[in-house]
Amino acid sequence: MPSPDHHHHHQRRSGIEQSATAPRARGAARLSPAAVPENGADHDGWEPVKRRAIVPAMALTTIDRPSVCPLDCPDTCSLTVTIEDGRITRIRGSHANPYTAGVLCAKVPAYYPGFVHGPRRLLTPLRRVGKKGEGRFERIGWDDALDFVHDAFQSVLREHGPQAILPLNYAGPHGMLAAGSMDLRFFHRLGASLLWRGPLCGGIRTEAWLGTYGSTPGIPPEQAALAKLVIAWGNNVTWSNLHLVPQINRARRAGGKLVVVDPRRTKIAEQADLHVALRPGTDVVLAWAIAAELERGGGLDRAFIARHVHGFEQYMAEARRWTPAEAARVCGVPEAQIRTVAEWYQTMSPAAISVGNGLERNQNGGSGIRAVFALPALAGKWGVPGGGCINGAGQAFPKTPARLQRPDLVPAGTRTINIVDVGRHLLDPELRPPIKALFIYNHNPLVVHPDQNRMRRGLARDDVFVVGCDVVMTESLAYADVVLPACTHFEHDDVFAAYGQHWLQRAEPVITRQGEALPNTEIFRRLAARFGFTDSAFTASDADLMDDAFAVDDPRLLGMRPSEIPTDRALKMTFGGDEAVMFRNVFPATASKKIELVSSYLDTKYGAPLPSFRPVASPFPLSLISPASDQRITSTFGGASEQDAAPPLEMHPDDARARGFTDGQRVRIWNELGEVHLHLEITERVPPGVVCTLKGAWLRTSDNGQTISALCPAHHADISGGACFNDARVEVSAL
């Protein structure tokens, strides 16, 4: 650990200028012994900073405090944070949440201290002095910053009306307060355009679930341990859903089998009893074929279907069109694998399916997920612990978004803009009203949106006023006119309802607010006051907001106010006192009260009563997938050179041979949208016809200012207007 003086040196109070040559984030603590080193011990150039062996006892006060990981990850670990002299020096897993049980991913202990205290941290408001994107800022005070935002917004309001203002926020922090509380109240009251955030990621899966099962939880991930068969479908659990691994291992020690469906041979795929390496975007065909094979083999639960399933005949009419041979051809997998999955699924119970976000990121995404969700309904797998789908965890909590976010404040007729379309709208001369002001927060749109080059042109418009609010200076914020420094969740109160497990947690600040940074809630409270919004919705304290986040009298809270949940334990969401088991203590909450294989909800909303399949038509021969990295949470923790080297492009030996490539050479990956340069890794980890690189690297890792999102199209999936990153089709040439 470096000396306190060293830290002060890096706490300089200016923005991005020093960051281009920033030294390694010095706050990084050593890996916690509890951390699970994923992907072997390979940390690509990153080396944990060694702690001093001897700490002068008089100089430091050391204290351990409980917290919760707020990142966009289904696991929502409970943490123990070590603070020395007011700075976070170590983060370990804690046992407050029995599900995460003291284990963390490697990235949080390695990178979070540097994220809080490192050289990219924003500590004061800033005003742009250079050109948009150049990254030159000067320090200003909060009063000036808020005046600046107020005056610019007022002029947009006068000229174009409130809908010319658009919040552009996503899922940086997942605490209920930081993610969407006072901020949304403010934008709702202002009458700003509404942003539909789900389509960027996870929204397709959510809508597919709501359309099939309604607002009800599936089984919690702990129940995977009870299964005789676990199917991880489009879910790289080792990197993105870590705590499912010990549950799967428990199941396997008791004789259970593991199937992994993923185009890429991930670590968990290597360990599986069967790895189905299907072509991206063909999941619906595979799941249909399994359903048809179940029927042929007598594997349907006719009594269950008659009682609990709506739309069986119509659904099967589609599924029956896919023989194993025909599906194998489209999915690019051996026919025998399809028969094996069907046979195992028929004969092994309980059977738990965990669905990740991998299979949603294409134009058939909703269909693929719905067809997977249909399998336990057809085979009658629900109704026992460990049976069904590990999904819908967000529905396990008694959330009250109407009270927390106050959608009733939205003026009638306010338009909603799909987050995937923001780049297009920014450049659309016909849009009425045009977007004239953006408020970017909890989000790094330049790195993560599809069609990156268009997003960049949109952000670069001089006639669009951009406010950027974040913890660290990002490449998106380089386009902001004014930058507001946000607190990390280690500096404010929040409550955490996970989206991958059933434990509710609360955290208090463990360090003081750094520099002049403020919590999101306070930033929008002050902004609301500037606009003269004085009613109690805008003066609510953080404790009030926490109490507004959940139904206080719901039995799941055991009589506690959310703001009083102890910080050293987690509250398990139970139903009649027990863990969720569908048809035992939780039930489908659809219009028909049945599992809807023909969905009235998805029919009304998207004209998609049934799953469907459309192949992607493109002149480019290779499918490009860009799954999550083990080094970042999407782009969070990116930006420091050591931990953000450009990932390689993985290509199958057959495709490399056809192009005369050698391992390690630089290649140009291109299509009609852009061009990205990476090193080639020739590997059988990806099937022929598929290339893969990991998402979220910052532009500074690139020699031409484009990263992999530049090649991803911005069209919509079959439901939820969802993003289709994995519909990218590319050619690869020598550079």
Residue closer to ligand SF4 (CB basis): 43 or 526: 43
Among 22, 73, 171, 333, which residue interacts with ligand SF4 (rule: CB under 6 A)? 73
Q: Least distance in Å: CB of 141 to ligand SF4?
A: 34
Residues in the chain: 735
* 309 near ligand SF4, rule: CB under 6 A: no
Amino acid at 330: V
CB 604 within 8 A of CB 615: no
* 643 near ligand SF4, rule: CB under 6 A: no
| Count of residues near ligand SF4 by CB under 6 A | 11
Among 1, 31, 104, 717, which residue interacts with ligand SF4 (rule: CB under 6 A)? 104
Q: Least distance in Å: CB of 10 to ligand SF4?
A: 24
Burial level of 49, CB count in 10 A (0-12/13-18/19+)?
middle
For residues 485 and 473, what is the distance between their CA atoms, to the nearest angstrom? 9
Residue closer to ligand SF4 (CB basis): 244 or 294: 244
Q: Which of 716, 601, 604 is nearest to 209 (CA)?
A: 601
Burial level of 545, CB count in 10 A (0-12/13-18/19+)?
buried
Q: CB-hemisphere CA count at 13 Å for 357?
A: 24
Q: Name which of residues 623 to 642 contact ligand SF4 (CB under 6 A).
A: 633
Query: Cis before residue 588, ω within 30 degrees of 0?
Result: no
CB count in 10 Å sphere of residue 688: 15
Residue with tokens 């490009």: 624
For residues 52 and 68, what is the distance between their CA atoms, to the nearest angstrom? 26
* 330 near ligand SF4, rule: CB under 6 A: no
Q: Least distance in Å: CB of 172 to ligand SF4?
A: 12
Q: Least distance in Å: CB of 332 to ligand SF4?
A: 31
Amino acid at 96: A
Rounded to 5, what percent of the chain is helix, strand, coil? 35, 20, 45
Q: Least distance in Å: CB of 245 to ligand SF4?
A: 11
* 71 near ligand SF4, rule: CB under 6 A: yes
For residues 389 and 381, what is the distance between their CA atoms, to the nearest angstrom? 9
CB neighbours of 355 closer than 8 A, spacing ≥ 6? 205, 233, 234, 235, 369, 372, 373, 389, 390, 391
* 179 near ligand SF4, rule: CB under 6 A: no
For residues 122 and 469, what is the distance between their CA atoms, to the nearest angstrom? 9
Residue closer to ligand SF4 (CB basis): 312 or 397: 397
CB 357 within 8 A of CB 234: yes
Q: Using the CB atoms, write b or e for 615-625: b if 16+ within 10 Å.
A: ebeeebebbbb
Residue with tokens 């977007």: 435
Task: Tell me how far CA of residue 82 lies from CA of 91, 101, 251, in angstroms.
Answer: 6, 18, 34
Residue closer to ligand SF4 (CB basis): 338 or 570: 570
* 108 near ligand SF4, rule: CB under 6 A: yes
Residue with tokens 């859903």: 241
Residue closer to ligand SF4 (CB basis): 103 or 624: 103
Residue closer to ligand SF4 (CB basis): 67 or 452: 67
Q: Least distance in Å: CB of 94 to ligand SF4?
A: 11
Q: Least distance in Å: CB of 562 to ligand SF4?
A: 20
For residues 37 and 239, what is the distance between their CA atoms, to the nearest angstrom? 10
Residue closer to ligand SF4 (CB basis): 104 or 682: 104
* 277 near ligand SF4, rule: CB under 6 A: no
Residue span binding ligand SF4 (CB under 6 A) among the ranges 74-82, 114-122, 539-547, 593-601? 74-82
* 472 near ligand SF4, rule: CB under 6 A: no
As a dihedral over the C-alpha atoms of residue 133, residue 139, residue 145, residue 147, rounded to 10 degrees, the angle is -110
Among 67, 76, 235, 337, which residue interacts with ligand SF4 (rule: CB under 6 A)? 76
* 1 near ligand SF4, rule: CB under 6 A: no
Residue closer to ligand SF4 (CB basis): 80 or 623: 80
For residues 198 and 196, what is the distance between their CA atoms, to the nearest angstrom? 6
* 77 near ligand SF4, rule: CB under 6 A: yes
Q: Least distance in Å: CB of 373 to ligand SF4?
A: 24
Q: Least distance in Å: CB of 636 to ligand SF4?
A: 9
Residue span binding ligand SF4 (CB under 6 A) among the ranges 101-109, 129-137, 355-363, 419-427? 101-109
Q: Name which of residues 232 to 251 contact ligand SF4 (CB under 6 A).
A: 242
Residue closer to ligand SF4 (CB basis): 108 or 546: 108
Q: Least distance in Å: CB of 76 to ligand SF4?
A: 5
Residue closer to ligand SF4 (CB basis): 76 or 247: 76
> DSSP of 218-238, one letter per residue?
---GGGGGG-SEEEEES--HH
Residue closer to ligand SF4 (CB basis): 108 or 351: 108
Amino acid at 661: F
Backbone angles phi, psi at 659, to 5 degrees: -105, 5
For residues 198 and 163, what is the distance between their CA atoms, to the nearest angstrom? 20
Residue closer to ligand SF4 (CB basis): 167 or 173: 173
* 105 near ligand SF4, rule: CB under 6 A: yes
Backbone angles phi, psi at 239, to 5 degrees: -100, -30
Among 38, 75, 718, 727, which residue interacts with ligand SF4 (rule: CB under 6 A)? 75
For residues 390 and 373, what is the distance between their CA atoms, to the nearest angstrom? 10
Task: Tell me how far CA of residue 20 lies from CA of 475, 641, 701, in angstroms.
Answer: 11, 9, 11
Q: Is 481 helix (H, G, I), strand (E, B) or coil?
A: coil
Q: Name which of residues 502 to 561 contact ligand SF4 (CB under 6 A).
A: none
Residue span binding ligand SF4 (CB under 6 A) among the ranges 45-53, 66-74, 356-364, 552-560? 66-74
Residue closer to ligand SF4 (CB basis): 29 or 598: 29
Residue closer to ligand SF4 (CB basis): 241 or 563: 241
Residue closer to ligand SF4 (CB basis): 75 or 301: 75
Q: Least distance in Å: CB of 35 to ligand SF4?
A: 9
Burial level of 159, CB count in 10 A (0-12/13-18/19+)?
exposed
* 96 near ligand SF4, rule: CB under 6 A: no
For residues 14 and 136, what is the distance between their CA atoms, to the nearest angstrom? 9
Q: Least distance in Å: CB of 430 to ligand SF4?
A: 41
* 69 near ligand SF4, rule: CB under 6 A: yes
Q: Least distance in Å: CB of 103 to ligand SF4?
A: 8
Q: Which residues bind ligand SF4 (CB under 6 A)?
A: 69, 71, 73, 75-77, 104-105, 108, 242, 633
